[in-house]
Chain A
Amino acid sequence: MEQQKALLFGLAAAVRLLLFTAFPSLPNLLAGRVEISTPVTSFKRLQEGLFLYTHNVSPYDGGIFHQAPLLLPLFSLLPNPSYHPFATNFLYTIVDLLGANALMQVAETAQSVTPRLFKSTRKDLRWSSIAIGASFLFNPFTVATCIARPTSALTNLFIFLAMAKASQGASITFVLALSFASYLAMHPILLLPPLLLLCYDVRATKSKSAPNPLIFTAVHVFGLATALGVLLYLSALLTGSWEFLAATYGVRLLLPDLTPNVGLWWYFFTEMFDSFREFFLGVFWLHVVSYVGGLTIRLRRQPLFVAATLTGIFAVFSPYPSIADATLYLSLVPLFRHLFPLMRYTFLASSTILYTSFLGPAFYYLWIYAGSGNANFFYAITLVWSLGLSVIVGDSLYAALRDEVDVERPELRGKEVRRI
């Protein structure tokens, strides 16, 4: 087991470092792709912010940099990646490996198949943690993300860590990891309800008496608020003012930068009359947030599944999604191997994702470089991409509900679904 793990990690690290060294122009090429680097995660923009920061100018002055301030001292420790890229490449490789490690810890706790309140009838159907780690590490989207070095790789790591710690019942590290993820990307804070439930369930299983839910929630929310408060205060100390809030979270909330990405927001907001902007910003955000409550309540007994599904919803409906968000969701899906036999559109959805991941760059090329297409070409493909992802989300939700029905009413097993 340990040997297999070492082999897997060694191989994954070798693939990444080989790609970094054998194709020195690849990182910059991928870092410029809109599918991977968004205005709020791009490595090139981070370099810009870093330059301003090391020259004692506020990094947010240029209006280009929209990432968390604490990333700056971290990356300023590393040598300049244009001349000595190895340290940065190594850091991102390690980030991927740590993410895979956390994902494998989640897999080992079996919280995906046998949470406290629910025993799936197919609980023996699961992949080993090695296979799940490999499906993350060797996913081409993960590799491309790692090579392009967006800061969303770090966000993904902290989300994995939060899930791993929650499914181990380690409250402090869970809260810390989630606060880091939320500090970097804001939307992961929406994962708090399902992950808190997961953590509560695990703690309840481990100890003889279940902790008081109210006190448990209050303590964790307070912990998260404190951790976030400390991080924000440190950021303010570092940059000397609170203006970073508007430049980072403000940009994520209000979408001033309409650079194309694989999501659904940019095109709507380029087309929109200014008078409707606030209204539709509200509608779009409300739409994303509304899934949290509904899913957490309906699938109370499978909190990890809710958290995984929410990452899928973020990959489709958040303001600046990239394939890094998609890779987070797609690597969590194999945890629910027991649902695969119940899913109905796996081939359709995976073909859609496959087709769009080739047609997307082709249409972007036609629009931007060849000049023979236009923005509608690329947007049409991002719609199909989002459709593919949402088919997986919807189909796996169906499978999870069907799984619950099978447990509750064994006599319906294997029958066609119909409305009762």
Chain B
Amino acid sequence: MALLSSILALRRDARILKLPPYLSALCILVGVVWLLVLPLNEYSRNTYVSENALLPGQVHTYFTGSEHNIFRAYRHEVAALVDKPVQERSQKLGDIFRSSSLKVATQIYEYHASGRNISNQNVYAILQGPRADATEAIVLIAAWTNMAGEINHSGVALVLTLARYFKRWSLWSKDIIFLISGDSTSGPQAWVDAYHDSHSPASIEPLSIKSGALQGAVAVDYPAGPWGHRYDKLHVVYDGVNGQLPNLDLFNTAVSIASGQMGIGCTLQRMWKHDDSYQERLQTMLRGMISQGLGHASGPHSSFIPYHIDAVTLQTVGDGWHDEMSLGRTVESLFRSLNNLLEHLHQSFFFYLLMQANRFVSIGTYLPSAMLIAVNFTITSIALWVQSGRSAPVPNPASISSKSPKPDMTVAKKDGAVTLVPTSSLTIIERRLFLPLAFVGGAHFIGLLPLYIFNNTRQTLLPTAFNSTAIFTILLPLLTAFALSLFHRPTPQETTLIQCLSLLLLGMFLSALATLNFSLSFLIGIFASPLSFIRPIHPPQPNTPSTLTTTNRKAMSAVVSVLLAALNPVVVIRAATFYWGEDIVDVLVQAAEGWHVWGLWTQVVVWLVWWPAWFAGSVVVTAGLFS
């Protein structure tokens, strides 16, 4: 009890209020450093396969010899279909599947995003496992075109060959579905949506034949043309939509089969050269985080992951001496492993950061860094709340001239000592919450506007939309601060409360987001971190001595608001696309496609979490210009 009351008494201590900015800064610093030490050997671990049933690489693979001739023949068949209309292509691919005595079906899909019309056709075939009861299935995918838009000649041919080859084995205890999707993102999405009956029937055809619950999916991306191309490494792509990841066991199995059994080197996150140095580990991890944070589909496998189907894409890269048969054997061995599964992959991690093909950190190790960043906002918010309950600062008695009125004093006695304390420092004043609540609510509501505009504008108008949003975003805090100063000048308390509530919400959103998409939460937290340290600059109190900040109040406000404007979401997006040499329109078109097709919600976070927080902070600072 005594402890509790002494803790409560601490609230009145003036030093406590000075602490939070340092505490916030410490949180951010520790959060960033935490991330930077993760690639060290002491903090990351070697990957390992948890699920005993997988037994990666324990079977002999027989995909060799005469299968190679069949593969080459199919590759020419595929090459002959390149310029054919979609219907004819599907017909021909279906015929090849049928000739291997598989059940075949097609699916037409059509999506509309940014005024574009995305339509194509999926072909798929089901191999009924000789030992299976049609309750479980695994999927082998080859998209007709890969993420770069190239025709996936050898990948499609490999799937056709493997379908013929797998059909002859009697050991499958799960059904195997072979899917040739029309493209790499929308096609698999339409198919997997329809497989789970969650498609919109108006534009997407339902699936006419189905199998059991999908246990895993592997996509092959091998765009070598009809005369083949020997590759150097396998690039394992594992990011799902919205930053969800497949079970680490699937990734580990793929890597251990490819590198251990077949001797093919594995790489990830486009790190073509990786000699396991600290810098390269860190770079791989950061690339992984950015990809996860953006949450975009990174391959045909991405659409499966939201349905809790673990999936990876195997992509061939470089010039080397591995041929299509070693890729085929890798897939064969991988399917033999998946075939062993007794239950859904659940043993290993779902949240991890990879820094090399066989090195990772798990959520327990890395989550604190994003949480610390999110907590810094909450700390500042609590500090501002306490501050808003205090009355105006009491001037230092030494600096008051004798003319100025004496503040009310209260006699305080404690442990026999008597002192005079200004009354105002003892009372908690009522907080006027209406304007701050309405303002913060309104800021989040305005965020809906760009969200709606960017998701529903035609492609040709997107540059205009982006530029006008940029201008609007930069001018809006100025206009708002000006309008507020005209109609209802916020008191210092209300300004503090606006910032307090806005940071409280930001901290809340980011900590909730950290559990779903760590990287996005971390990145936005870093970009928003200055919002913890800005303070409104109020006109000086009548009898306080003037300091540097109060005399150059307007100049200071202007400088801070310009600095803050450089960190606004629109500017950051523009700068990021410039840095990576992307076209802003392409990014926006992708994002709109993501919204309408893949169920991407990164833009919700940007416009309804980050943007309103930045706006509120900016208005708080800009208000100094008009006070």
Contact = CB atoms under 8 A, between A and B. Distances in A.
Interface of A: 341, 344, 347, 351, 354-355, 358-359, 362-363, 365-366, 369-373, 416, 418-419
A355 B511 contact: yes
B17 to A, nearest CB: 15
A24 B206 CA distance: 23
Contacts of A372: 244, 350-351
Contact of A370 (B308, B378, B508): B308
Nearest to B308: A371
In order of increasing CB-CB distance, the 4 nearest A-B pairs are A372-B350, A371-B308, A358-B512, A362-B512
B430 A341 contact: yes
Contacts of A365: 516
Contacts, number: 48
Contacts of A369: 306, 308
A337 B351 CA distance: 46
B11 to A, nearest CB: 10
A351 B1 contact: no
B1 A419 contact: yes
B351 A359 contact: no
A359 B511 contact: yes
Interface string B286-330: 000000000000000000001010000000000000000000000
A351 B516 CA distance: 20
A416 B505 CA distance: 32
B346 interface: yes
B437 to A, nearest CB: 11
A351 B308 contact: no
Given A359-B512, A359-B515, 16 more contacts: A351-B504, A355-B511, A355-B512, A358-B508, A365-B516, A366-B516, A369-B306, A370-B244, A371-B308, A371-B346, A371-B350, A372-B244, A372-B350, A416-B8, A416-B9, A418-B5
Pick the most buried of A351, A373, A419: most chain B CB atoms within 10 A of its CB. Answer: A351
B509 interface: yes
B625 interface: no
B63 interface: no
B482 interface: no
A366 B513 CA distance: 11
Interface string B1-33: 100010011000000000000000000000000
B361 to A, nearest CB: 16
30 contacts: A341-B428, A341-B430, A351-B504, A351-B508, A354-B504, A354-B505, A354-B508, A355-B511, A358-B508, A358-B512, A362-B512, A362-B513, A362-B515, A363-B515, A365-B516, A366-B515, A366-B516, A369-B308, A370-B306, A370-B308, A370-B350, A371-B308, A371-B344, A371-B346, A371-B350, A372-B350, A372-B351, A373-B515, A416-B5, A416-B8
Contacts of A419: 1
A354 B378 CA distance: 12
Contacts of B346: 371
Contacts of B610: none
A349 to B, nearest CB: 13
A355 B5 CA distance: 27
Interface string B327-371: 000000000000000001010001100000000000000000000
Contacts of B513: 362
Nearest to B9: A416
Contacts of B595: none
Contact of B509 (A344, A347, A351, A358): A358
B385 interface: yes
A31 to B, nearest CB: 17
B382 interface: yes
Contacts of A344: 8
A307 B467 CA distance: 57
A351 B507 CA distance: 11
A358 B374 CA distance: 14
A372 B346 CA distance: 8
B303 to A, nearest CB: 15
Contacts of B511: 355, 359
B411 to A, nearest CB: 13
Contacts of B428: 341
A362 B308 contact: no
Nearest to A371: B308
Contacts of A366: 515-516
Contacts of B378: 351
A351 B511 CA distance: 13
Interface string B408-433: 00000000000000000000101000
B429 to A, nearest CB: 10
A416 B351 CA distance: 48
A344 B7 CA distance: 13
Contact of B382 (A347, A363, A370, A371): A347
Contacts of A416: 5, 8-9
Nearest to A340: B430
Contacts of A418: 5
B430 A355 contact: no
Interface string B506-543: 00110111011000000000000000000000000000
Contacts of B509: 358
Contacts of B512: 355, 358-359, 362
A78 B40 CA distance: 66
A418 B512 CA distance: 38
Contacts of A362: 512-513, 515-516
B449 to A, nearest CB: 16
A347 B500 CA distance: 11
B494 to A, nearest CB: 16
A82 to B, nearest CB: 16
Contacts of B516: 362, 365-366, 370
B436 to A, nearest CB: 13
A373 B346 CA distance: 10
B268 to A, nearest CB: 20
A207 to B, nearest CB: 39
Nearest to B11: A344
Contacts of A355: 508, 511-512
A369 B512 CA distance: 16
Nearest to A361: B512
A359 B516 CA distance: 10
Contacts of B9: 416
Nearest to A358: B512
A358 to B, nearest CB: 5
B358 to A, nearest CB: 22
B579 to A, nearest CB: 31
B190 to A, nearest CB: 20
B38 to A, nearest CB: 20
Nearest to A347: B385
A212 B515 CA distance: 60
A341 B389 CA distance: 11
Pick the most buried of A341, A351, A369, A371: most chain B CB atoms within 10 A of its CB. Answer: A371
A375 to B, nearest CB: 14
Nearest to B351: A372
A237 B9 CA distance: 64
